[in-house]
Amino acid sequence: MVLEEMRPYLLQDGGNVAISEIDGPVVRLELQGACGTCPSSTQTMKMGLERKLRERIPEIQEVVQSLPDTPDLNDEQINVVLDSVRPFLQVAGGTIDVKSITGEGGLQPTITLKMEGAAASLNSVKLEIAQRLQRHFMISGLRVEWA
């Protein structure tokens, strides 16, 4: 199958793909793992998977990315993620709070966080928090900024 040819490339980057539905000439694919949150997921879908599928199966008219059920981008859900790192930050004498959410429903929503204390200057802590938020929301263009 065509997807089996593409799968090794996706797996190499920590991702995968699955067919979620075939509705006549429309194929719905779900990008999984790292591919689901990758900023290049749209390009992977259109330039890679869709192109290969349409080359092999000309009857396919459209390939659509199917997104898994994900939580809404709001303060409550952001705090679900932040609550998992707050104990570590408290031990280090720090705090973290949501300052703002902008661009909800757009191509690049942005979460702005404010972190204070000793851990606030550690890029590794910021990177871990950003990755947890991206995994939680599964929004490919999600940006995390720091105030």
Is residue 113 assigned to a domain?
A: yes
Strands 143-146 and 110-116, how do they pair?
A: parallel
Q: Tell me if 129 sits within 8 A of 145, measured CB to CB.
A: no
Residue 111 β-bridge partners: 101, 144
CA dihedral of residues 38, 42, 48, 53 (deg, nearest 10): 120
Q: Tell me if 140 sits within 8 A of 36, measured CB to CB.
A: yes
User: Which pLDDT belongs to residue 140?
Assistant: 72
Q: Tell me how many domains the chain contains.
A: 2
- Residues 83, 142, single domain; the answer is yes
| pTM of the predicted structure, to 2 decimals | 0.60
Is residue 70 assigned to a domain?
A: no
User: Which pLDDT belongs to residue 6?
Assistant: 83
Q: Tell me if 140 sits within 8 A of 39, measured CB to CB.
A: yes
In CATH, what number is assigned to the domain containing residue 122?
A: 3.30.300.130
CB under 8 Å to 130, separation ≥6 — which residues? 144
- Residues 61, 87, single domain; the answer is no
Q: What is the pLDDT along the chain (147 residues), one digit of tens a residue?
A: 778 888 888 888 888 888 888 999 988 888 887 776 666 777 777 778 888 899 999 999 988 877 667 788 999 999 999 999 999 999 888 899 999 999 887 778 999 999 998 877 788 889 999 999 988 987 878 899 999
For tokens 């396919």, the residue is 60
Domain boundary among 65, 86, 105: 65
